[in-house]
């Protein structure tokens, strides 16, 4: 009877220790990850913003864009992979492409 009581008490003790370790590890992971995730997120957001700003300043409504007949998208340059091997590339001004409802390729 005494042996069973000792084993039960040891299991309870180990269970409490294990639970405490899991809680501490979880809190440490949450606190440690916060700074890393925020700086990565900020970096990627500012990079995207910089790219958008560059393309907006370089393109105006009179710029020439490229598209394929029947397509619903236009491309900013002929070197785009979708246009590379196509011989039927058409040109149009950006304002005309927008008036036709064409969207910029991504």
pLDDT for 73 equals 93
What's the pLDDT score for residue 34? 52
Query: pLDDT tens digits for the chain (106 residues)?
Result: 556 666 676 677 767 887 776 777 776 665 665 555 444 545 555 445 445 444 444 677 788 999 998 889 999 988 888 888 888 899 999 999 999 999 998 8
pLDDT of 86 reads 87
Q: Do 41 and 28 sit in the same domain of this protein?
A: yes
Query: Does residue 54 share a domain with residue 13?
Result: yes
Give me the pLDDT at residue 22, please.
78
SS3 sequence of the chain = CHHHHHHHHHHHHHHHHHHHHHHHHHHHHHHHHHHHHHHHHHHHHHHHHHHHHHHHHHCCCCCEEEEECCCCEEECCCCCHHHHCCCCEEEEEHHHHHHCCCEECC
How confident is the model at residue 4, as a pLDDT? 67
Q: Are residues 67 and 83 in the same domain?
A: yes
44 and 92, same structural domain? no
Which residue range is the domain that position 91 belongs to? Answer: 59-106
**Cβ 77 vs Cβ 64: under 8 Å:** no
3-class state of residue 71 by DSSP: coil
Question: What residues pair up with 42 in beta bridges, in sequence order?
Answer: none
What whole-number distance in Å separates Cα of residue 106 and Cα of residue 10?
62
């Amino acid at each position: 009877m005494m042996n069973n009581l000792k084993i039960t008490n040891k299991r309870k003790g180990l269970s409490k220790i294990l639970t405490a370790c899991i809680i501490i590890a979880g809190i440490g992971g949450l606190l440690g990850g916060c700074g890393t995730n925020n700086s990565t997120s900020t970096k990627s957001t500012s990079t995207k913003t910089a790219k958008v700003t560059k393309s907006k300043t370089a393109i105006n409504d009179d710029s020439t864009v490229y598209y394929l007949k029947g397509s619903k998208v236009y491309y900013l340059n002929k070197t785009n992979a979708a246009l590379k091997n196509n011989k039927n590339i058409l040109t149009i001004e950006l304002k005309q492409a927008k008036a036709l409802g064409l969207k910029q390729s991504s």
